[in-house]
């Protein structure tokens, strides 16, 4: 059943809260949740002082019927690996809609890995993959999967199902695509239909970010040039300390050809199996993960002694919130030519090569093409 919560959240308006789930205190509320009807005593069963988070849908006062219908369809699907949405409310002043979500105290994935030193990364990845599988089994696609939409609240949750398009737009397809550029599959950048395989690409970027603990493409502008480079095979660098079996999976997920990427079911099965092997505390997977965790612990201690703001410092034109993008004349997606010698499951290529091979140069004709489009 879908509960629409009416004005119980007055006074808890969000300040500069634009599609972000790193919540200030003002965004946290306590509300009464109705858990059912007590037939014997003829009264509602109430759960009081329940923490929830608000998420504002900017410029949604003229929200479309199609968008509301999509919200309804997602709210009616209860999946354990998806952050629970209790309903929607409306700001009585601006008339913008706000989602009432389960509160995840550790924030999004990026906030979590920068501020914790857990040794459960295989399990965490397995939980994210399982949540994505549930979405795909429900014949849905996320469309906007990035580290800001993965939350940690005792376990990993995926958030923002179907919320990626502007709430006040009837048709986004005519204007462009909506998302966070570093996480978007090259075929989506070119305007092709969003598919389950595009979610898998995003998962690969997230997986590498989580294991490398590096924000993807944080030192460069997120512009047309980056979109061209992604289509030509540019990918975030892979940290040298990531175990090779995980590197192989990352690269399969972000393959330029959608048909070469694994399905969510395959991801779920593979990561669950690896976690099971790891928990036996012996074998090759346990050995590789133990080495990775030792290196990561040193990195975490070093980061704790340094200025943490440096870890999250990004280029002024690197944008990690969902936005409307429109690119023209992007090249056909290919894998970087530097990767031709590295085949998945190959044992004869060092991780040093992997970390160095994700660079793509633009030709003079590419730059001229971009300049011409900007003049138009």
Domain-wise residue ranges, the chain: 30-37+46-102, 107-303+315-325
Instruction: Flag the least confident range among 70-74, 135-139, 293-297.
Output: 70-74
Are 142 and 150 within 8 A, CB to CB?
no
| Residue 320 in this model has a pLDDT that exceeds 90 | yes
Give me the pLDDT at residue 368, please. Answer: 56
Q: How far apart are CA 321 and CA 22, in angstroms?
A: 12
Question: Among residues of the chain, what percentage have pLDDT more than 70?
Answer: 67
For the entire predicted model, the pTM comes to 0.77
Secondary structure (3-state) at 101: strand
Q: Which two tokens stand for residue 28?
A: 């946290």
| Residue 43 in this model has a pLDDT that exceeds 60 | yes
Q: Please say whether the dihedral angle defined by the alpha carbons of residues 279, 284, 286 and 289, taken in this order, is positive or negative.
A: negative
Fold that domain 107-303+315-325 belongs to in CATH: Transferase(Phosphotransferase); domain 1 (1.10.510)
**What's the rounded mean pLDDT across residues 11-21?**
29
- 282: alpha, beta or left, given left = phi > 0 and alpha = psi -120 to 50? beta
Residue 309: other Cβ atoms inside 10 A? 7
CATH of 30-37+46-102, one of 3.40.190, 3.30.450, 3.30.200, 3.30.70: 3.30.200
**What's the rounded mean pLDDT across residues 289-297?**
93
Q: How far apart are CA 62 and CA 253, in angstroms?
A: 38
Give me the pLDDT at residue 306, please. Answer: 62
Are 99 and 84 within 8 A, CB to CB?
no
Are 203 and 129 within 8 A, CB to CB?
yes
Secondary structure (3-state) at 51: strand
Phi, psi torsion values for 145, nearest 5 degrees = -85, 120
Q: What is the pLDDT of residues 200-232, one digit of tens each?
A: 999 999 999 999 999 999 999 999 999 999 999
Please report the beta strands in the chain, taking only residues with DSSP state E, as ranges in sequence order: 28-38, 43-57, 85-90, 97-102, 150-152, 156-158, 177-179, 323-325
Please report the beta strands in 118-249, taking only residues with DSSP state E, as ranges in sequence order: 150-152, 156-158, 177-179
Are 75 and 97 within 8 A, CB to CB?
no
Are 143 and 162 within 8 A, CB to CB?
yes
Q: How far apart are CA 119 and CA 11, in angstroms?
A: 40
DSSP state of 47: E
DSSP character string of 236-267: PPPPTTS-HHHHHHHHHHT-SSGGGSPPHHHH
């Amino acid at each position: 059943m879908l509960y629409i919560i009416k004005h119980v959240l007055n006074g808890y308006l969000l300040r500069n809260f634009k599609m972000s789930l790193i919540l200030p205190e003002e965004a946290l509320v306590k509300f009464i949740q109705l858990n059912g009807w007590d037939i014997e005593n003829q009264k509602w069963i109430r759960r009081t002082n329940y923490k929830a988070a608000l998420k504002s849908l900017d410029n949604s006062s003229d929200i479309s019927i199609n968008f509301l219908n999509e919200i309804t369809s997602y709210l009616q699907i209860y999946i354990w690996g998806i952050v629970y949405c209790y309903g929607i409310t409306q700001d009585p002043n601006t008339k913008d809609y706000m989602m009432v979500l389960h509160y995840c105290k550790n924030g999004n994935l990026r906030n979590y890995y920068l501020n914790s030193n857990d040794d459960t990364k295989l399990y965490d990845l397995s939980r994210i993959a399982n949540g994505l599988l549930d979405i795909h089994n429900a014949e849905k696609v996320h469309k906007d999967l990035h580290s800001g939409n993965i939350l940690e609240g005792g376990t990993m949750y995926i958030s923002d199902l179907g919320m990626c398009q502007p709430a006040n737009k009837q048709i986004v397809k005519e204007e462009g695509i909506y998302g966070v550029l570093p996480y978007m599959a090259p075929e989506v950048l070119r305007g092709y239909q969003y598919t389950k395989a595009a979610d898998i690409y995003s998962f690969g970027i997230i997986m590498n970010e989580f294991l490398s603990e590096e924000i993807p493409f944080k030192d460069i502008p997120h512009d047309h040039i980056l979109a061209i480079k992604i289509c030509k095979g540019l990918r975030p660098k892979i940290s040298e300390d990531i175990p090779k079996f995980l590197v192989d999976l990352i690269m399969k997920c972000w393959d330029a050809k959608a048909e070469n990427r694994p399905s969510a079911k395959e991801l779920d099965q593979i990561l669950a199996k690896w976690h099971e092997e790891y928990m036996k505390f012996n074998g090759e997977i346990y050995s590789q993960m133990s080495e990775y965790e030792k290196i990561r612990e040193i990195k975490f201690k070093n980061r704790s002694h340094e200025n943490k703001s440096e870890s999250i410092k990004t280029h002024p034109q690197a944008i990690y919130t969902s936005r409307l993008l429109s690119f023209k004349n992007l090249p056909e997606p290919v894998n970087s030519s530097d990767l031709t010698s590295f085949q998945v499951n190959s044992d004869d290529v060092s991780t040093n090569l992997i970390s160095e091979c994700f660079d793509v140069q633009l030709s003079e004709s590419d730059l001229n093409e971009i300049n011409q489009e900007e003049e138009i």
